[in-house]
């Protein structure tokens, strides 16, 4: 084998090795972009008025951790039930007028 053919073989081998090295570094970069997009969509979620009010009440009580989660869950449930309750009595007088 001549010196020129050996250099050509070494150059070809180094190009193949370099190509796989670049291919391996590009894939993880794409995955991190997907995680960033997912995190951005979570932070843009709007909070309801009940949620904000319950958070303020939990702050006033100094609740943290599991106690805070439990309090907020029950508070929001009561707020939704309280908002639905006035609608039912309003329909009751209309039914009484029909009799």
Amino acid 57: pLDDT: 93
Amino acid 86: pLDDT: 60
Amino acid 54: pLDDT: 93
Amino acid 56: pLDDT: 93
Amino acid 15: pLDDT: 80
DSSP 38: H
CB count in 10 Å sphere of residue 66 = 8
CA gyration radius, the chain? 32
If the chain, 99 residues long, is cut into consecutive pieces of 10 residues, what is the mean pLDDT of each piece?
A: 88 79 56 57 75 92 93 92 66 52
Amino acid 42: pLDDT: 61
CB count in 10 Å sphere of residue 79 = 16
Q: Give the contacts of 72 (CB within 8 A, at least 6 positions apart).
A: 51, 54, 55, 58
CA distances from 14 to 2, 4, 19, 26, 59 (A): 19, 15, 8, 19, 62
Q: Using CA of residue 9, residue 15, residue 18, residue 24, what is the dihedral sign? A: negative
Amino acid 48: pLDDT: 87
């Amino acid at each position: 084998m001549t010196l020129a053919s050996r250099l050509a073989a070494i150059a070809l081998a180094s190009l193949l090795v370099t190509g796989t090295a670049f291919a391996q570094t590009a894939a993880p970069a794409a995955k991190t972009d997907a995680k960033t997009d997912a995190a951005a969509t979570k932070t843009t979620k709007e909070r309801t008025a009940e949620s904000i009010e319950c958070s303020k009440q939990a702050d006033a009580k100094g609740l943290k951790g599991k106690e805070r989660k439990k309090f907020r869950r029950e508070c929001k449930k009561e707020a939704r039930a309280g908002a639905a309750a006035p609608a039912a009595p309003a329909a009751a007088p209309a039914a009484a007028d029909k009799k």
